[in-house]
Amino acid sequence: MNLHILQIILPLLIKGLKLTVCISILSILFSIVIGGIIGSMYISKNKALHGIAYIYIKVFRNIPFMIQVYLAYYVLPELGLDSNAFWTGVVVLSLYTGAYIAIILESGLRSVSKGQYEASTALGIPYFTMIRRIILPQIFGVIMPPLTSQFATTVKESSVLSVITIAELTMMTNKAIGITFNPFIVYILSGLLYWVINICIERIGKYIEYKSVLQK
């Protein structure tokens, strides 16, 4: 492999990698909060809360992510809602991922017996406090594997944000190809970097799952 080509490729890919990691971490953190709220609303007996959550999940899960990105970046400014590309990407990816996390949480929450919900209500425990302190600790080990898989998907979906000029890993990959005219090497290195990120997510997920099992 030509050392000169590597000297061109690696700085570009590392720069893109840093932004991809930053976007992914922020989006995952925000989506956990969003998914937790929407998932809790989705199983609520309050019809208004359930209805809002239902519409949210259906909208964000059934519209292609790229279309959501384009709508946020190009249409919202027409409505007077301006934002830079980075934060637009983070917000849209968070909302999109949050819909999937909500479904994962909803499945876990429904696996808990109704008696625990009824007992908590009888004791006057606020709904979201009950979810956070009583229900979630019980289902954590169950929902962790699908959550880990979804977080890996979030990293891969971040590549779509290159369409709105965010210089993440995929965009810098294309830039490196344009400079070196060596797509084979560039794509291999880029793929390896995405692989490393998702292997790290998988390992962290398995570690958290293991610790949660030990605590039971």
- CATH number for the domain including 35? 1.10.3720.10
Name the residue among 45, 35, 55 with its Cα closest to residue 127: 45
CA distance 139 to 209: 11
Residue 179, pLDDT score? 93
Q: Cα angle at 67 between 65 and 72, to 5 degrees?
A: 95
Domain that holds residue 123: 3-214
What Rg do the C-alpha atoms of the chain give, in angstroms? 20
pLDDT over 60 at 1, yes or no: no
Kindly tell me the burial class for residue 69, based on how many C-beta atoms sit within 10 Å of its own C-beta (0-12, 13-18, 19 or more): buried
pLDDT digits (tens, 9 = 90+) for 9-57: 999 999 999 999 999 999 999 999 999 899 989 988 899 999 999 999 9
Is residue 63 classed as helix, strand or coil in its secondary structure? Answer: coil
pLDDT bracket for residue 130 (50, 70, 90): confident
Structure tokens at 149: 């898989």
pTM of the model: 0.90
The amino acid that residue 118 corresponds to is E
Structure tokens at 215: 């605590």
The total of structural domains in the chain comes to: 1
Kindly tell me the burial class for residue 4, based on how many C-beta atoms sit within 10 Å of its own C-beta (0-12, 13-18, 19 or more): exposed
pLDDT over 90 at 94, yes or no: yes
Residue 215, pLDDT score? 60
Is residue 57 classed as helix, strand or coil in its secondary structure? Answer: helix
CA distance 13 to 169: 6
